[in-house]
């Protein structure tokens, strides 16, 4: 279908005047003039014509589309903010009855439906116009490219405009939260009901994709090598590692049909995407293992990937449906049995892929060749990093029957594989190859304690050395570059190819600081209105929502709001695990380190709270790491082997501490002995306190000796443990303080008792009055 017809069919009637005027651009280009001579030739195309076309395309039309996109998106955010203002707060929760809140929820659902519809149309508007600009520039360069080229300038302009920046997920998250509140008010959701499922969650990874400029390639490699080793691929499974072995060359052949339906589904994202490819490592003449893969991405974040090895001679019969892998199935049955689960799974996978190829009428269309360097700790898959260089895309199709790139009766190009061509594939015709100028860095991270507290990974992902491209796909990029005449939709990252991806380190740091500050602000704003609905029991901040609080958040919002007061929280959001070749769509989330202090150590400064002490009390990240297969705990570190060589001042410092403890023990013993001798036989308080001080003296002596021996052992072992041990001084200090207070209290009570007894004795009469006497006016006389 011609793009003009595609654009006309995609127009949203209320915005029909805001789309790219594609027909006007064709008229300005004089597309109907095809004769190279006379009026229709190059001689009739003047500088004025070129100026008019370029100004109309890169200024008038681009500003019209960009302005409409910006105004519409701002209006949608205003409408979303207005809906957020209707949400209840602790002050307004009791101001309306339940029926009034239900009426608000019903009105909000209608408005949210309208907002969602407009947001979806805006996404389609941005993508179809983006494709239209590239199509118009391509027509110009094809017709007037001998003297003028407009596409490089257009791509620079496109990279500077916001309408082609596809990031609507933060706003979608806000809409989802409001949808949830409205459904709960209407009784469609039960917030207290926990999801019940017997299915255990599978391990998922988050994929982060970046472009690396060739000037920064070595620095990125060395930064990674300081923490992760290179994962060596040995196709011969040799026992002796060859240090001169080069990084392997990987080849993938992607399938699609003449309508490029698989490409369309991956770019548009409106329908579940599927992809099929053949993949191998090294040269095909070396008979490597070839794997046939199919990846299915559902409506959510989960994906499903099936694969099985296939021999080269069976590929073409398999694609035609003439061979169903009977030999492989029979071998597996002989080894495991007919009823084995692996046999049933293999049969199911073979049938699924073969039927999918037959239904979609798929055939090989694109080859991607690249050199891969993998970084990973053997047996530890928490962090997996791959760096792909020398990336080239080659047409592998037979769409043009008169000049096919591949033999119609074969599944691959024999000119490449038989001649063992390597990058840069100089023998391939210009229109059949596209070389990617950057390296592709992909970081796959499993959500664990180790990865959430990984500073070096966070620094790399936010450095000036790399440029993030979240949704980059080799298959999508190769088709967009080599089959642009066959497709009517392009990925947004194409406009970044004409710009310099290198950044100034200071600028990159400032952008990261602004991003984290904006993240904290957004989390507080979003959490403020969510805290009064489904998460009302949490201690989130309350208040009016921010005008543009946009940020994708994971986990409990209330926890994010509380944590954002102190630091920037950006937890990893689990998504579908990417395929082995790393050609899926990742979602990048930064990693931040987290350290906190609590309890008695944060309250008492006497307790060591240094970074060194906290790290060794908490344990390093490797303490909890499982050992790789075949690796045993040596028990003793290499650094601890051999004769210890310790400076004399270390031993003397330990001895001085021991002597100080003995000094304290002697002083306490002397004090207790003097107190006991000075106390009389009847002074039980002094005698008891003397015994208490004697106990503290004994404890100080024993403690000093024990700590001296313990620290001597740590010095001998060259241990990295913390030498601080505050229990002894703390116990002696508190004990002496209590003893002194008790001594003061007992002495005070003794003095008080003495004074009370003296007063009673002074007031006692000297003569005992007989019962028949009485006192008159202070005197007493015998009664007559």
On whether both 126 and 228 belong to a single domain, the answer is no
On whether both 187 and 280 belong to a single domain, the answer is no
pLDDT at position 650: 77
What are the two backbone dihedrals, phi and then psi, of residue 667, each rounded to the nearest 5 degrees? Answer: -60, -45
Mean pLDDT over all residues of the chain?
Answer: 76
Q: What is the CATH number of the domain that holds 386?
A: 3.20.100.30
On whether both 252 and 153 belong to a single domain, the answer is no
Is residue 782 scored above 60 in pLDDT? no
Highest mean pLDDT of the ranges 492-496, 550-554, 682-686, 723-727? 492-496
pLDDT at position 442: 94
Q: How confident is the model at residue 280 (pLDDT cuts 50, 70, 90)?
A: very high
Q: Which residue shows structure tokens 């944060």?
A: 602
pLDDT at position 166: 61
Average pLDDT rounded to a whole number, residues 699-706: 86
Helix locations, 467-620, DSSP H: 474-482, 505-530, 557-563, 600-603, 611-618
More confidently predicted of 34 and 512 = 512
pLDDT at position 669: 85
pLDDT at position 3: 81
**Whole-angstrom distance, CA of residue 76 vs CA of residue 126:** 15
Q: How confident is the model at residue 165 (pLDDT cuts 50, 70, 90)?
A: low
Average pLDDT rounded to a whole number, residues 499-513: 82
Is residue 772 scored above 90 in pLDDT? no
Highest mean pLDDT of the ranges 64-68, 607-611, 641-645? 64-68
**Whole-angstrom distance, CA of residue 773 vs CA of residue 237:** 125
The answer to whether residues 211 and 159 touch, using CB atoms and an 8 Å cutoff, is no
What are the two backbone dihedrals, phi and then psi, of residue 601, each rounded to the nearest 5 degrees? Answer: -70, -30
Is residue 624 scored above 80 in pLDDT? no
pLDDT at position 396: 93
pLDDT at position 28: 87
Q: How confident is the model at residue 740 (pLDDT cuts 50, 70, 90)?
A: confident
Is residue 169 scored above 80 in pLDDT? no
Q: Would 714 be classed as within a structural domain?
A: yes
Quick one: how far is CA 322 from the chain centroid?
45
What are the two backbone dihedrals, phi and then psi, of residue 385, each rounded to the nearest 5 degrees? Answer: -125, 135
Average pLDDT rounded to a whole number, residues 240-252: 69
Taking the CA atoms of the chain, what radius of gyration do you get in angstroms? 40
On whether both 150 and 183 belong to a single domain, the answer is yes
Highest mean pLDDT of the ranges 35-44, 463-472, 609-618? 463-472
- The rounded percent of the chain whose pLDDT value lies above 90 is 17
Least confident residue range of 264-273, 699-708, 770-779: 770-779
Domain that holds residue 157: 3-191
The residues with which 375 forms a beta bridge, in sequence order, are: 230, 385
On whether both 466 and 323 belong to a single domain, the answer is yes
Least confident residue range of 18-27, 242-251, 561-570, 574-583: 561-570
Is residue 537 scored above 50 in pLDDT? no
Q: How confident is the model at residue 302 (pLDDT cuts 50, 70, 90)?
A: low
Average pLDDT rounded to a whole number, residues 658-668: 86
Q: What is the DSSP string of 319-336?
A: HHTS---HHHHHHHHHHH
On whether both 285 and 415 belong to a single domain, the answer is yes
pLDDT at position 298: 58
Give Cβ neighbours of residue 404 (< 8 Å, ≥ 6 apart).
397, 398
The answer to whether residues 206 and 444 touch, using CB atoms and an 8 Å cutoff, is yes
**Whole-angstrom distance, CA of residue 154 vs CA of residue 490:** 15
318-363, pLDDT tens digit by residue? 998 888 888 888 888 888 888 888 888 999 999 999 999 999 999 9
Q: Would 466 be classed as within a structural domain?
A: yes
Is residue 144 scored above 50 in pLDDT? yes
Is residue 648 scored above 90 in pLDDT? no
Choosing from 473, 496, 519, the residue where a domain stops is 496
On whether both 157 and 251 belong to a single domain, the answer is no
Q: What is the bridge-based pairing of β-strands 433-435 and 363-377?
A: unpaired
Run of H or E residues at 467: strand 466-468
Q: How confident is the model at residue 176 (pLDDT cuts 50, 70, 90)?
A: confident
Q: Would 98 be classed as within a structural domain?
A: yes
pLDDT at position 412: 93
Is residue 534 scored above 80 in pLDDT? no
Q: Give the pair of three-digit tokens for residue 123.
A: 């996404």
pLDDT at position 388: 95
Give Cβ neighbours of residue 569 (< 8 Å, ≥ 6 apart).
519, 523, 559, 560, 563, 592
On whether both 214 and 167 belong to a single domain, the answer is no
Is residue 36 scored above 60 in pLDDT? no
- How many residues can be counted in the chain? 784
Give just the sign of the alpha carbon dihedral 350, 356, 359, 362: negative
Q: Would 582 be classed as within a structural domain?
A: no
Average pLDDT rounded to a whole number, residues 569-594: 40
Q: Would 468 be classed as within a structural domain?
A: yes
More confidently predicted of 198 and 411 = 411
Quick one: how far is CA 737 from the chain centroid?
52
366-411, pLDDT tens digit by residue? 999 999 999 988 888 889 999 999 999 999 998 888 888 999 889 9
Least confident residue range of 14-23, 78-87, 367-376, 668-677: 668-677
Give Cβ neighbours of residue 479 (< 8 Å, ≥ 6 apart).
254, 256, 260, 263, 365, 366, 487
On whether both 262 and 316 belong to a single domain, the answer is yes
Is residue 199 scored above 60 in pLDDT? no
**Whole-angstrom distance, CA of residue 252 vs CA of residue 402:** 25
Average pLDDT rounded to a whole number, residues 163-175: 72
Is residue 527 scored above 60 in pLDDT? no
Is residue 643 scored above 80 in pLDDT? no
Q: How confident is the model at residue 300 (pLDDT cuts 50, 70, 90)?
A: very low
The answer to whether residues 260 and 479 touch, using CB atoms and an 8 Å cutoff, is yes
Run of H or E residues at 79: helix 62-85
Is residue 622 scored above 50 in pLDDT? no
More confidently predicted of 134 and 166 = 134
Is residue 236 scored above 60 in pLDDT? no
On whether both 181 and 220 belong to a single domain, the answer is no
On whether both 310 and 261 belong to a single domain, the answer is yes
Q: Would 152 be classed as within a structural domain?
A: yes
More confidently predicted of 25 and 304 = 25
- The rounded percent of the chain whose pLDDT value lies above 70 is 72
**Whole-angstrom distance, CA of residue 657 vs CA of residue 661:** 6
Query: What is the DSSP-derived secondary structure letter of residue 147?
Result: T
pLDDT at position 512: 79
Distance of CA 505 to CAs 465, 508, 509, 512, 740, Å?
8, 5, 6, 11, 62
Query: What is the DSSP-derived secondary structure letter of residue 216?
Result: G
Q: Which residue shows structure tokens 């490797």?
A: 622
Q: How confident is the model at residue 451 (pLDDT cuts 50, 70, 90)?
A: confident
- Tell me how many domains the chain contains: 3
pLDDT at position 478: 94
261-274, pLDDT tens digit by residue? 999 888 876 566 78
Q: Would 525 be classed as within a structural domain?
A: no
Average pLDDT rounded to a whole number, residues 58-73: 89
Q: Would 408 be classed as within a structural domain?
A: yes
pLDDT at position 563: 38
On whether both 175 and 274 belong to a single domain, the answer is no
Choosing from 446, 471, 496, the residue where a domain stops is 496
Quick one: how far is CA 305 from the chain centroid?
22
User: What's the pTM value of the predicted model, to 2 decimals?
Assistant: 0.58
**Whole-angstrom distance, CA of residue 379 vs CA of residue 630:** 9
pLDDT at position 256: 94
**Whole-angstrom distance, CA of residue 97 vs CA of residue 249:** 68
Q: How confident is the model at residue 550 (pLDDT cuts 50, 70, 90)?
A: very low
Is residue 233 scored above 80 in pLDDT? no
Is residue 241 scored above 80 in pLDDT? no
Short-list 404, 425, 551, 434, CA closest to 497: 434
Q: How confident is the model at residue 640 (pLDDT cuts 50, 70, 90)?
A: low
Is residue 769 scored above 90 in pLDDT? no
475 by DSSP, 3-state: which? Answer: helix
Is residue 32 scored above 90 in pLDDT? no
């Amino acid at each position: 279908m011609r793009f003009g017809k595609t654009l006309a069919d995609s127009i949203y009637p209320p915005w029909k005047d805001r789309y790219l005027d594609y027909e006007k651009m064709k008229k300005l280009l004089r597309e109907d003039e095809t004769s190279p001579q006379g009026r229709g030739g190059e001689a009739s195309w003047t500088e004025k014509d070129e100026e008019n076309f370029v100004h109309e395309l890169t200024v008038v039309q681009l500003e019209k589309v960009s302005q409409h996109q910006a105004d519409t998106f701002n209006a949608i955010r205003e409408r979303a903010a207005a809906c957020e203002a209707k949400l209840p707060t602790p002050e307004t929760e009791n101001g309306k009855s339940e029926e009034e809140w239900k009426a608000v929820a019903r009105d909000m659902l209608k408005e949210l439906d309208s907002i969602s519809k407009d947001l979806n149309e805006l996404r389609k508007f941005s993508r179809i116009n983006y494709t239209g600009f590239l199509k118009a520039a391509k027509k110009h360069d094809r017709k007037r490219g001998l003297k003028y080229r407009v596409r490089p300038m257009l791509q620079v302009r496109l990279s500077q405009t916001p309408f082609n920046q596809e990031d609507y997920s933060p706003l979608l998250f806000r809409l989802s939260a409001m949808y949830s509140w409205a459904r709960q008010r209407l009784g469609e959701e039960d917030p207290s009901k926990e999801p019940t499922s017997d299915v255990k969650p599978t391990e998922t990874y988050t994929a982060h994709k970046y472009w690396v400029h060739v000037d920064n390639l070595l620095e990125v490699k060395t930064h990674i090598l300081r923490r992760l080793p290179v994962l060596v691929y040995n196709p011969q499974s040799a026992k002796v590692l060859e240090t001169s072995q080069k990084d392997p060359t990987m080849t993938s052949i992607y399938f699609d049909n003449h309508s490029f339906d698989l490409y369309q589904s991956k770019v548009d994202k409106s329908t579940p995407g599927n992809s099929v490819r053949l993949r191998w490592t090294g040269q095909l003449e070396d008979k490597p293992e070839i794997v046939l893969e199919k990846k299915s991405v559902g409506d959510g974040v989960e994906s499903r990937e099936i694969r099985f090895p296939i021999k080269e001679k069976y590929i073409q019969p398999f694609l035609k449906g003439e061979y169903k892998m009977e030999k492989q199935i029979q071998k597996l049955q002989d080894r495991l049995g007919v009823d084995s689960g692996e046999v049933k799974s293999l049969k199911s996978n073979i049938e699924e892929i073969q039927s999918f190829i037959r239904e979609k009428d798929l055939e090989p269309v694109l080859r991607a060749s690249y050199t891969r360097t993998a970084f990973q700790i053997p047996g530890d898959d928490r962090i997996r990093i791959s760096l792909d260089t020398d990336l080239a895309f080659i047409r592998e199709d037979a769409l043009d029957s008169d000049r096919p790139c591949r033999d119609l009766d074969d599944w691959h190009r024999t000119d490449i594989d038989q001649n063992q061509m390597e990058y840069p594939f100089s023998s391939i015709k210009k229109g059949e190859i596209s070389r990617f100028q950057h390296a592709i860095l992909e970081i796959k991270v499993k959500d664990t304690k180790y990865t959430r507290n990984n500073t070096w990974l966070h620094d790399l992902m936010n450095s000036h050395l790399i440029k993030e491209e979240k949704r980059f796909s080799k298959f999508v990029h190769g088709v967009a570059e080599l089959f642009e005449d066959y497709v009517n939709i392009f990925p947004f990252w194409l406009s970044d190819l004409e710009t310099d991806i290198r950044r100034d380190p200071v600028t990159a740091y400032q952008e990261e600081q602004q991003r984290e500050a904006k993240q904290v602000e957004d989390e507080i704003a979003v959490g403020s209105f969510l805290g009064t609905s489904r998460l009302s029991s949490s201690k989130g901040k309350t208040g009016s929502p921010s005008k543009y609080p946009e940020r994708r958040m994971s986990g409990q919002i209330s926890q994010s709001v509380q944590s954002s007061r102190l630091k920037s929280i950006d937890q990893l959001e689990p998504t579908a695990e990417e395929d082995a070749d790393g050609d899926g769509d990742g979602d990048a989330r930064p990693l931040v380190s987290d350290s906190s202090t609590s309890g008695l150590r944060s309250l008492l400064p006497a307790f060591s709270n240094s970074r060194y002490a906290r790290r060794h009390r908490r344990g390093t990240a490797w303490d909890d790491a499982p050992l790789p297969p075949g690796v045993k705990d040596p028990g003793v570190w290499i650094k601890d082997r051999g004769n210890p060589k310790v400076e004399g001042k270390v031993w003397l410092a330990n001895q001085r501490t021991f002597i100080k403890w003995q000094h304290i023990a002697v002083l306490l013993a002397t004090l207790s002995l003097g107190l006991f001798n000075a106390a009389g036989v009847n002074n039980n308080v002094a005698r008891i306190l003397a015994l208490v001080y004697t106990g503290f003296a004994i404890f100080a002596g024993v403690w000093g000796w024990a700590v001296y021996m313990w620290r001597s052992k740590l010095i001998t072992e060259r241990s990295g443990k913390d030498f601080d041990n505050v229990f002894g001084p703390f116990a002696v200090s508190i004990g002496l303080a209590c003893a002194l207070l008790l001594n003061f209290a007992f002495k005070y009570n003794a003095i008080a008792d003495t004074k009370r007894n003296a007063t009673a004795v002074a007031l006692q009469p000297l003569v005992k009055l007989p019962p028949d006497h009485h006192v008159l006016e202070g005197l007493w006389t015998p009664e007559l």
